[in-house]
Structure 1
Amino acid sequence: MTDPIRIGNASGFYGDRFAAVHEMLTGGPLDVLTGDYLAELTMLILGRDRMKNPERGYAKTFLRQMEDNLALAKEKRVKIVVNAGGLNPAGLAAALRELAQRLGVDTAIAHVEGDDLLPRAAELGFGSPLTANAYLGAFGIAECLRAGADVVVTGRVTDASLVAGPAAAHFGWQRTDLDALAGAVAAGHIIECGAQATGGNYAFFTEHEIGTPGFPIAEVHADGSSVITKHPGTGGMVTTGTVTAQLLYEITGARYAGPDVTTRFDALTLTEEGPDRVRVTGARGEPPPPELKVCLNTVGGFRNEVTFVLTGLDIERKAELVRAQLERGIAGNRPAEVRWRLARTDHADADTEQRASALLQCVVKDPDAQMTGRAFSGAAIELALASYPGFHVTAPPSDASPYGVYTAGFVAAGEVAHLAVLPDGSTVDIPHPGSTATLSEVADPPLPEPLTGGATRRVPLGTIAAARSGDKGGSANVGVWVRSEAAWRWLAHALTVEEFRRLLPETASLPVRRYLLPNLYALNFVVEDILGEGVSAQARFDPQAKALGEWLRARYVDIPEEIL
């Protein structure tokens, strides 16, 4: 096939807009509709589901969406490719067959498996996790589609494989078509988070009428280039800015490694070729690493929290009093970790009680549920009539709840089975790439010529710079970009690691790496350990670092007037 393949996305996470599947199927032409339901946190949630019922472990939302849309997809001849299988793709495929039979829809259903390494976790050196899943690539999906599947469900594949697999099947790409595969991976990375590519969570949102953004579409061509767009008449927008934002989301440097190809993000070029149409070209592919990444989730222990509301005068003294009282109250039964945080959200001479109040949070963690349960909650609430004036809390006392810990492991690709289970029930073993290359960082390109001196004005960095941030385990990334060469010449010199740490004091003692992407007028910062044990552990006020970039944009810096 030489015609481009039109691949839409209808889900960026487990819990995304339920109606998006129907909207995408009825909003305009598509060849394939994908859905990303998995994240590190989701795998933990599904792991707990599977503990309660071994027949579960998949995204039940997808089944409900297919109840309404399976016949519609078949009528419109749109293939469905999703990773909603989670920890049990075979179980989801079986449930879909039952659904199709009940609805009277003749649908060929296939699935991809082999990613679940839990039975071999100890043998592979991963200990005793709750979940252990290798990130598989695109070719199992491609095999299922070539065999005539209408619906393909997978477990833990890379998010971009949901796009690269259908493209590989459509164009007949082989393992050696690295540049084409790299282009499809870039397109998949752009649309994998749904409306984030069409104006959702966009730093320059005030310049646009966002409404309710439609979901994105990638028109992938035979050489791997693509056009990112959306259905006509839907909300939001597709611009080089929204596409840049998503390209920078949750990456590190110039090399973006996957199981099929390592994509050079420093080679990508974006061109706005019309309203809501951005062309992505220049992708360059290199052999993938010899190892596959493994998503490992364990139960870290139990946590609880209480948030005291401190209102009016003497905020610091009120915080000192209740902290000392609660510390004495739990001294004989103290959890392993007790963390306090005072958020000075109060304002002097406030015109509402809420604006006059600050929040003091105490979070406790321990391997033993009893150490963080009712004994802790009770010790906090017993102070209600014996502490600071105006005592109250934001929520009633609760029992301990388990929390998870995510870590990334790695395993030789040859240790992992990659199996395509075709609509007729037969199984095809998908070989891993024969050519691999150990991943290494690309040396930073030369800095651009700095701007010459001139008058500056002290304004928020976000006056000229956009940002997008996110989580990767215990680390976070902050992508920052500007929209002109002159602004890039200033940003590349001004926003050093030292300046980044100064602007975000929470990062001052943490390892921070900076990467340059001149093709996007962008810098990417990776902050290690800022999220502790990861999002499931809720170690930080913003546990997924989603607003870290917005905090950076709100900080004041001296910017040359010529680029303002």
Structure 2
Amino acid sequence: MMVLASNYDNDPIDVLVGDWMSEGNMTVRAGSKIDGQVDAYEPTFLEALEPALPHIAKHGVKVAVNAGASDTKKLHEVVTNMVKAKGLELSVAWISGDEVLPQLLESQKRGESPFENICTGEKLDDWKFEPIYAQAYLGGLGIAEAFEKGADIVVCGRVSDASPVIGAAYWWHKWQRSDLDKLANAFVAGHLSECSSYSTGGNYTGFKHLEALGWQNIGYPIVEISHSGQVVVTKNKGSGGEVSVDTLTSQFLYEIQGPWYFNSDVTAILDDIWFEHLSTDRVALRGIKGAPPPPTTKVGITAKGGYQAEMHWFLTGLDIAAKSRMVQTQVRHLLAPHISNFSHLSFQTIGSVPSNPTNQNAATVDLRIVAQARKAADLAPAKFVRPCIDPIMCAYPGATPHLDLRQAFPKEIFEYYVTLLPQSSISHRVHLSSGETIYILPPEISQTRVYPKHQPSEATTSNPIPLSTLGATVRAPLGSIVHARSGDKGSDCNVGFWIRHEDEYVWLRNLLSMEFMKELLAEEYRGGRIERCEFPGLRAVHFLLKDHLDRGVSCTSRIDFLGKNCAEFLRVRDVDVPRGFLGRGRI
């Protein structure tokens, strides 16, 4: 915030927005609030805000963030006191209504909905855990109303990631709920900017060519939104990285679930999306259409899931599989009296040894032992870490455990359940500094649309052609010429692939069928539902891997707990690439 606000004279902005929420910190902050141990908002927001406040006040910059997490009222108090301590005349408002556990439990008791898990299909009555907290994803109209009533800073809890941008544009341009195309463009603009530097070169498979532009100072995206809803993305002046068609395609494909993109205020129809390069670091968003929002909104439910502990052994050189098998056999034997109390136990071999390695680190892989249990006592040192370490004198050659045992002691984990709640059940309110409270009405049923349970999906491309017609091929990693991006939503993982040249897209969309995706996933495919769609304007093919991530970030046993490396795994897999494509140079 300081970087952007302090440079206003040279690079003016009207509204600073920030997304501080993820499914990981939603569950952790929920647990903190229920336990009453610490303030359950995001303290790093205050670190960003405090030095920027004088510049925000001087230039009249508005601020909207969702850093309230599970304690928005408390964050409002802290920010209000911070503003007063600096002698600034800034009005601070806060948004409530995202905390919905009472409404959800009452509705469940009345049998009004099975509250199906949108990732797994499970019914809430069948969930093995007791909900302690639930947060609904709110739209941006409360933020817009706060700005309209004179607020300078609006702090929120679980508004959607893009809602601060939607609210800012709605307020600035005096839009109406019926301006669906405009709202949809603002919604996608919010998605493009919500993850900070992801749109300017962070987490981008073309990262190598950005080194000359400055890896150490990758910039922040700035979205310009016109009254008609047209969007241009740029970045702060003097920063590294870049805003390009490819960096925006990377961020766009991150975390979407298909061609329908839902928000409490609007549904964005993404089929015809494309980006237009205008000039250096200026790219326009095109092709977005708006549709009515659904009558429901997403709700994340948190429950105490128990405890997790993990232990690591290092395996080096030859016979890695046999060495892993030996220590597993020994550890399982020592764990046997306690395993019945574990809810999960896995042995994961991470990495591999290359042929003729030239240093010892390259020849070393990690054997990760992960256990979960409902009670911390079931993972006490005598029941987990001691049995994991005790084989040291009779294990494989070179047997070496990791000596940092902090992860081997039980830590609390949280289960996370994703479902839907009617917007009409939510009390979305704006609390102004004057003490006034304003209720934000949900959309009327006539202003919403019920969408099918699953996104549009096609197993193969329409009008497929034989790949043999594209000429001679060579075996090469998919990522030699294909960009990709993946991420998590609950236990679902999405992954999108895109190509640099139009003729290569013919190959990509014919290659990447649902069946071929299963082949690419290889041992990672566990039989789950796969959904597939194409974005021709981006030369992209997108997949949604349902329930792929072992319950989500807050309790997963997977090392790729955010699903972000799924794309990188798939890019390293060998495929048949037309020889001529490789001649254009690799990514």
Pairwise same-fold verdict (TM > 0.5): yes
Alignment correspondent of 2:247: 242
**What is the one-letter code of the residue matched to 1:472?**
K
Alignment correspondent of 2:373: 366
Pairwise CA distance, 1:307 = 1.1
CA distance in 2, matches of 1:298, 1:216: 35
* Aligned partner of residue 535 in structure 1, secondary structure: coil
CA distance in 2, matches of 1:371, 1:327: 15
Alignment correspondent of 1:295: 300
Alignment correspondent of 2:191: 189
Pick aligned residue for 2:47 from 48, 59, 64:
64
CA distance in 2, matches of 1:154, 1:73: 18
Please state if 1:251 is matched with 2:256. Answer: yes
CA distance in 1, matches of 2:243, 2:521: 30
Alignment correspondent of 2:420: 410
Residues 86 and 155 of structure 1 are in contact (CA less than 8 Å); yes or no, is this contact kept in structure 2?
yes
Alignment correspondent of 2:200: 198
Of 396-405 and 287-296, the range deviating more from structure 2: 396-405
Alignment correspondent of 2:57: 74
Please state if 1:136 is matched with 2:141. Answer: no
Alignment correspondent of 1:387: 395
CA distance in 2, matches of 1:283, 1:194: 21
CA distance in 2, matches of 1:481, 1:347: 29
Please state if 1:447 is matched with 2:430. Answer: no
**What is the one-letter code of the residue matched to 2:180?**
L
Residues 225 and 283 of structure 1 are in contact (CA less than 8 Å); yes or no, is this contact kept in structure 2?
no
Q: Using structure 2 for the length normalisation, give the TM-score.
A: 0.89
Pairwise CA distance, 1:508 = 5.3
Alignment correspondent of 2:16: 33
Pairwise CA distance, 1:348 = 5.0
Pairwise CA distance, 1:91 = 1.2
Please state if 1:279 is matched with 2:279. Answer: no
Please state if 1:83 is matched with 2:88. Answer: no
Pick aligned residue for 2:575 from 544, 557, 560:
557
* Aligned partner of residue 504 in structure 2, secondary structure: helix
**What is the one-letter code of the residue matched to 2:441?**
P
Residues 462 and 554 of structure 1 are in contact (CA less than 8 Å); yes or no, is this contact kept in structure 2?
yes
CA distance in 1, matches of 2:194, 2:537: 22
**What is the one-letter code of the residue matched to 1:513?**
E
Pair 1:401–1:26, CA change in 2 (3 A): farther
Percent identity (aligned):
35
CA distance in 2, matches of 1:415, 1:404: 25
**What is the one-letter code of the residue matched to 1:231?**
N
Pairwise CA distance, 1:48 = 2.6
Pick aligned residue for 1:225 from 230, 250, 257:
230
Of 286-295 and 127-136, the range deviating more from structure 2: 127-136
**What is the one-letter code of the residue matched to 1:485?**
E
Provide runs of 4+ in structure 1 moved above 6 Å. none
CA distance in 1, matches of 2:295, 2:37: 32
Alignment correspondent of 1:7: none
Q: CA deviation digits over 1:131-187, x for unaligned, max 9?
A: 200111010000000011110011101111110101000111111110100010010
Pairwise CA distance, 1:26 = 7.3
**What is the one-letter code of the residue matched to 1:205?**
F
Q: CA deviation digits over 1:268-300, x for unaligned, max 9?
A: 231000000001123211111111110112221
* Aligned partner of residue 554 in structure 2, secondary structure: helix
- Structure 2 gaps of 5+ residues are 109-123, 583-587
Pairwise CA distance, 1:214 = 0.5
**What is the one-letter code of the residue matched to 2:573?**
R
Pick aligned residue for 1:156 from 150, 155, 158:
158
Pick aligned residue for 1:104 from 87, 92, 97:
87
Pair 1:210–1:548, CA change in 2 (3 A): farther
Pairwise CA distance, 1:204 = 1.4
Pairwise CA distance, 1:519 = 1.9
Pairwise CA distance, 1:340 = 1.1
Alignment correspondent of 2:493: 476
Pair 1:47–1:146, CA change in 2 (3 A): same
Pair 1:553–1:560, CA change in 2 (3 A): same
* Aligned partner of residue 301 in structure 1, secondary structure: strand
Residues 457 and 531 of structure 2 are in contact (CA less than 8 Å); yes or no, is this contact kept in structure 1?
no
Alignment correspondent of 2:509: 492
Pair 1:281–1:363, CA change in 2 (3 A): same
Pairwise CA distance, 1:30 = 0.3
Pick aligned residue for 2:521 from 491, 494, 504:
504
Pick aligned residue for 1:114 from 91, 94, 97:
97
Pair 1:521–1:234, CA change in 2 (3 A): same
CA distance in 2, matches of 1:256, 1:344: 36
**What is the one-letter code of the residue matched to 1:501?**
K
Q: CA deviation digits over 1:466-499, x for unaligned, max 9?
A: 1100011111000111122211111111111111
Pair 1:206–1:348, CA change in 2 (3 A): closer
Q: Using structure 1 for the length normalisation, give the TM-score.
A: 0.92
* Aligned partner of residue 232 in structure 2, secondary structure: strand
CA distance in 1, matches of 2:546, 2:437: 41
Residues 304 and 373 of structure 1 are in contact (CA less than 8 Å); yes or no, is this contact kept in structure 2?
no
Residues 470 and 507 of structure 2 are in contact (CA less than 8 Å); yes or no, is this contact kept in structure 1?
no
Pair 1:21–1:82, CA change in 2 (3 A): farther
Q: CA deviation digits over 1:332-365, x for unaligned, max 9?
A: 1112321112235234554332223232221111
CA distance in 2, matches of 1:348, 1:454: 32
Q: CA deviation digits over 1:64-111, x for unaligned, max 9?
A: 322211111111211111001111211111111111111111110111
Of 313-322 and 181-190, the range deviating more from structure 2: 313-322
CA distance in 2, matches of 1:23, 1:205: 28
Pick aligned residue for 1:310 from 307, 315, 326:
315
Residues 306 and 395 of structure 1 are in contact (CA less than 8 Å); yes or no, is this contact kept in structure 2?
no
Pair 1:105–1:533, CA change in 2 (3 A): same
* Aligned partner of residue 502 in structure 1, secondary structure: helix
- Structure 1 gaps of 5+ residues are 1-9, 11-18
Pair 1:325–1:83, CA change in 2 (3 A): same
Please state if 1:423 is matched with 2:436. Answer: no
Of 497-506 and 28-37, the range deviating more from structure 2: 497-506
Pairwise CA distance, 1:389 = 2.9
Pairwise CA distance, 1:432 = 1.0
**What is the one-letter code of the residue matched to 1:494?**
L
Pair 1:170–1:448, CA change in 2 (3 A): farther
Aligned pairs, how many?
547
Of 55-64 and 189-198, the range deviating more from structure 2: 55-64
**What is the one-letter code of the residue matched to 1:371?**
D
